Structure 1
Amino acid sequence: MMKKAENIIVGISVGDLNGIGSEIILKTFEDTRMLELCTPVIFANVKIMSFAKKNLDATIALHGIDKIDQLLPGKINVLNVWKESVTIEYGANDENVGKYAIKSFTAATKALKEGQIDVLVTAPINKYNIQSEEFKFPGHTDYLNQELEGDALMFMVQDDLRVGLITDHVPVNEVASQLTEALIKSKIETIKKSLMQDFGISKPKIAVLGLNPHAGDGGVIGKEDDEILRPTIKKLFDSGTLAFGPYPADGFFGSGQYEKFDAVIATYHDQGLIPFKTLAFGKGVNYTAGLNKIRTSPDHGTAYDIAGKGIADFNSFKEAVYLAIDIFHSRNEYAAMTEKPLKIKEKHL
């Protein structure tokens, strides 16, 4: 049975309390029409969110709860993950605040894992002040990959522009050594599956960017493109996956060539994210594809320089909420479509 829109539970991790996370969350749900699309649950503390609300001079009502089953549809629910007070100093890099960002995130992930929330939207964290003996991950994605089923892939999305990564938070001097046939196949197949089940594209076309300048120029500028990428892409294509490339990365976006494909996969972080953020910044969404649960986030960081000033642009966070809901619906529709033939077949046995 399909859930009614307002009953889709969107869990939200609050991010770095000294950044713009609380602000963009509250600004998103100031528009009460958002509560017709979902029921938000902010994993934080109602006093902290009330402090942020007062700083913004916002008039929205917050509903504090101590257990997830106390949430109310049509309300902005705040689940008290902790009770103690936390000192907020907007713009400051604070290890103590980093601990609370992780308390919020791990509690929200647990709720997602246990099916208490339907999707997760994460506000920005500081990758430096979250590190501890209990949490030794470069960011959200790596932790989610450990806790949830599947193989996580960073997938940047803005309308029909979708950019995935073969390697993500890897030093540039290590990228070439990590480009194996197995990894390339895995990431392309993950994107293919996501395009089908999450975006409703039945026969997705995927472009792969080359590692080296001019995709190696026939081996003159590096051999990885000809020796690893090209043969792997051909194997995938021959097996029915519509993967193409490797394409020289320098002119691929500027020429509009990306518009011919349903997704583009870059070999490393900046190769994909620089053009994506140039084209989509402020409205782009970071989606963790490949997992059995749905997580999205805005395409920006904590923005310490403007934190607490009430001037943060919340559109990327709002788009992250929209995309999480859209993917939730798409997955349900995809599951219904793929299960129906099986039921028909069983009926005639």
Structure 2
Amino acid sequence: MKKPDNIVVGISIGDLNGIGSEVVLKTFEDTRVLDFCTPVIFASAKAMTFLKSHFNSEINFNITNNINQLVHGKVNVFNSWNEPVTIEFGKEDEKMGVYAIKSLQSSTKALKNGDIDVLVTAPINKHNIQSEEFKFPGHTDYLAQQLEGESLMFMCSDGLRVGLLTDHVPVKDVVNHITEELIINKINTVYHSLKSDFNIVRPRIAVLGINPHTGDNGVIGHEDDTVLRPTLKKLKDEGKLVFGPYAADSFFGSNNYKSFDAVVASYHDQGLIPFKTLSFGQGVNFTAGLNKVRTSPDHGTAYEIAGKGVADESSFKEAVFMAIQIFRNRNEYEELTANPLKKSTKKI
């Protein structure tokens, strides 16, 4: 039986030829982490034994075929497959995509069943995961289908949170995707997540414009005036502290983001370039809006350094601790919602 304060953290191993396995091992070599959670790596005993030897890790795994036989205080490995796998660090390999998906599917099943409390995903290669069985651009889209809710890519660090109206959408299609309904759904998801997942009572949200200089009164596009501004006004009329649209080119350089609890960008690079510039190596990708907690590090497979023992585990470790904290915050929020007279510890 799970200890009440020891959250079970499931880990999908990602692309075995990338740096995911290294940052996972480095994270849990710090045994103090085991005071906060019980980790479960979804991979195989053979693969993890090879990786342990390659990276000279001192972790002693508890290997199991039964998710109900976890050992607290140890790093558990759940066998998501049994056949041997040939790991060739730094090589893009379709077979590694197959095993990355086996791990993801196995860990997602455990998450849905309540066998694990949260999921932290190691990096995958979005190209080699594609198959007849798996046709998703990445983790977020797959989990959005598997779990209930309105998913949102929410990049988080200590001083910055960035949500996206559109994520893995070609730039040429961005404007066609941004509708009043989408804006309302995404900002409401950010708003609720700030309250329930981050303990913020009155969230302040900044929204970046769609076009350069928010369209310059229609000179560089009309979508900011005809779609974005009217929709933000509706949200403000509901009492939400939503501000903008702001010109994206100067928003981060002027430190305006520090006045808000979250920033909502119109498309992927508009939000992620400044986020990764300011927070790379410490940031976390959190999939907000789902009925379960999923986080991941803010980097990819990094084939160029895979297997060399030089990968930095900081972002993965942050992803583990953020998943734990969000899980606790969400439970507290649900208790307070059910019993509003209970004393709250939330910050304004």
**TM-score normalised by length of structure 1:** 0.96
Distance across 1 between alignment mates of 2:59 and 2:340 = 47
Distance across 1 between alignment mates of 2:323 and 2:340 = 27
What is the CA distance between 1:51 and its match in structure 2? 0.9
Distance across 2 between alignment mates of 1:237 and 1:187 = 15
Matched letter for residue 53 of structure 1: K
What is the CA distance between 1:60 and its match in structure 2? 1.5
Q: Please give the secondary structure, in 1, of the residue aligned with 2:289.
A: strand
- Superimposed CA distance per residue, residues 54-75 of structure 1 (whole angstroms, 9 cap, x where no aligned partner): 1111111111111101110000
Distance across 2 between alignment mates of 1:18 and 1:341 = 49
Partner of 1:48: 47
Q: Does 1:234 align with 2:233?
A: yes
Matched letter for residue 267 of structure 1: S
Partner of 2:202: 203
Q: Please give the secondary structure, in 2, of the residue aligned with 1:225.
A: helix
Alignment of 1:181-192 (within 5 A): 181-192=180-191
Partner of 2:93: 94
- Superimposed CA distance per residue, residues 124-168 of structure 1 (whole angstroms, 9 cap, x where no aligned partner): 000000011110000000010001000100000001310000000
Distance across 2 between alignment mates of 1:207 and 1:332 = 27
Partner of 1:39: 38
Distance across 2 between alignment mates of 1:274 and 1:52 = 32
Alignment of 1:74-153 (within 5 A): 74-153=73-152
Distance across 2 between alignment mates of 1:59 and 1:120 = 24
Partner of 2:4: 4
Q: Please give the secondary structure, in 2, of the residue aligned with 1:133.
A: coil
Matched letter for residue 277 of structure 1: K
Q: Please give the secondary structure, in 2, of the residue aligned with 1:153.
A: strand
**TM-score normalised by length of structure 2:** 0.97
Gaps of 5+ in 1: 344-349
Distance across 2 between alignment mates of 1:3 and 1:57 = 30
Distance across 2 between alignment mates of 1:200 and 1:342 = 17
Distance across 2 between alignment mates of 1:157 and 1:341 = 28
| Between 301-310 and 211-220, the greater mean CA deviation after superposition | 211-220
Distance across 2 between alignment mates of 1:337 and 1:59 = 42
What is the CA distance between 1:341 and its match in structure 2? 3.3
What is the CA distance between 1:47 and its match in structure 2? 1.5
What is the CA distance between 1:48 and its match in structure 2? 0.6
Q: Identify if the C-alpha distance between structure 1 residues 50 and 257 changes in structure 2 by more than 3 Å, giving closer, same or farther.
A: same
Distance across 2 between alignment mates of 1:232 and 1:328 = 31
Distance across 2 between alignment mates of 1:233 and 1:178 = 16
| Between 58-67 and 269-278, the greater mean CA deviation after superposition | 58-67
Question: How many aligned positions are there?
Answer: 341
Matched letter for residue 324 of structure 1: A
Q: Identify if the C-alpha distance between structure 1 residues 4 and 210 changes in structure 2 by more than 3 Å, giving closer, same or farther.
A: same
Distance across 2 between alignment mates of 1:341 and 1:329 = 17
- Superimposed CA distance per residue, residues 14-54 of structure 1 (whole angstroms, 9 cap, x where no aligned partner): 00000011100000000000000000000000211111111
Matched letter for residue 280 of structure 2: F
- Superimposed CA distance per residue, residues 223-260 of structure 1 (whole angstroms, 9 cap, x where no aligned partner): 00111101100110011111110000001001000000
Matched letter for residue 329 of structure 1: R
Q: Does 1:171 align with 2:170?
A: yes
Distance across 1 between alignment mates of 2:46 and 2:192 = 42
What is the CA distance between 1:306 and its match in structure 2? 0.3
Partner of 2:346: none
Partner of 1:346: none
Q: Does 1:320 align with 2:338?
A: no
Matched letter for residue 58 of structure 2: T
Matched letter for residue 4 of structure 1: P
Distance across 2 between alignment mates of 1:39 and 1:203 = 33
Q: Does 1:265 align with 2:264?
A: yes
| Between 216-225 and 192-201, the greater mean CA deviation after superposition | 216-225
Matched letter for residue 29 of structure 2: E
Distance across 1 between alignment mates of 2:58 and 2:143 = 34
Matched letter for residue 96 of structure 2: V
Q: Please give the secondary structure, in 2, of the residue aligned with 1:87.
A: coil
Q: Does 1:285 align with 2:284?
A: yes
Q: Please give the secondary structure, in 1, of the residue aligned with 2:85.
A: coil
Matched letter for residue 4 of structure 2: K
| Between 36-45 and 233-242, the greater mean CA deviation after superposition | 233-242
Matched letter for residue 323 of structure 2: A
Partner of 1:347: none
Partner of 1:308: 307
Distance across 1 between alignment mates of 2:119 and 2:20 = 14
Matched letter for residue 290 of structure 1: G
- Superimposed CA distance per residue, residues 264-288 of structure 1 (whole angstroms, 9 cap, x where no aligned partner): 0000000000000000000000000
What is the CA distance between 1:3 and its match in structure 2? 6.0
Partner of 2:211: 212
Gaps of 5+ in 2: 343-348
Cα RMSD (Å) of the superposition?
Answer: 1.2
